[in-house]
Structure 1
């Protein structure tokens, strides 16, 4: 995905927070940043193999949380 696409799908995130998060994820080896030459410069972000392995684990944690943790009472 490109930076602008990420910005649109993550509601309420600031430019500063998104840029910082992307840098941290790249440093941790969870995303790959690819820069393409041209005007304007194009940058794409995608998941690494390391992250692909984490997705099923995170989905299981989400399912567990939905089954075992109650949301705020209304």
Structure 2
């Protein structure tokens, strides 16, 4: 039975990274009971979930940057 990705618990201590979409601080979580890595940014709503073993993308969402965000 498949579980939704949102129901998988996150590690207690995320790693702070630079968001590949906007460059602001984001978070990387290694999911506890799987081999998944979740990278997310709360500033621009970026999300990428990859297999920690193969690097294959499982789920991704990367919104476009707005012109006013580029000048900030």
Structures share a fold, TM > 0.5? no
More helix by share: 1
Larger Rg: 1
Q: Which has the higher contact order (CA 8 A, sep 6+)?
A: 1
TM-score under structure 2 length normalisation: 0.32
TM-score under structure 1 length normalisation: 0.31
More strand by share: 2
